[in-house]
Structure 1
């Protein structure tokens, strides 16, 4: 099965509300590898690798986020697939 990579930058109220933790939890449920990290401008960067269906499911979830968050926008960029181990938070 072909695998893909995406970099998403999520803006809104996404820091200090558990966004990275819940993103990692969802990514692990979907067997997606990569990471979520806070950026200095208040956004969260999510690097994700998996099948097209897995990634679309996570992207759909990122558009809503966990209950305490308020997502305004998700900017997504395709990137080359890279073999990763697990899903981390930074």
Structure 2
């Protein structure tokens, strides 16, 4: 099975609206592993690892975000898959 790992940097109104918890729920539903965290500048970063289709679907969902969020931009960076992440964690 082909795996893809992508680092997503999400900006907009993404803190204080349950974005990390929503991201974790969506990622687990898609069978992704990785993590999500708040950044000091008010943005959110997420490492998404899974099938290319699941990663693409998660990026689409991130563009919409949870109720109350307003995503203005997502920048993605392909990452070396390295060791397989287990589960999907909220870091901070």
The two structures have a TM-score, normalised by structure 2, of 0.95
- The CA deviation at 1:68 is 1.0
TM alignment of 1:38-77, pairs within 5 A? 38-77=38-77
1:11-90 pair list within 5 angstroms: 11-82=11-82, 83-90=84-91
How many correspondences in the alignment? Answer: 90
Matched, 1:6 2:45: no
Structure 1 segments of 4+ aligned residues over 2 angstroms from their partners? none
Distance 1:24 1:58 in 2: 10
Task: Return 5+ residue gaps in structure 1 as ranges.
Answer: none
Distance in 1, matches of 2:36 and 2:16, equals 13
CA distance in structure 1 between the partners assigned to 2:64 and 2:78 by the alignment:
20
CA distance in 2, matches of 1:75, 1:67: 21
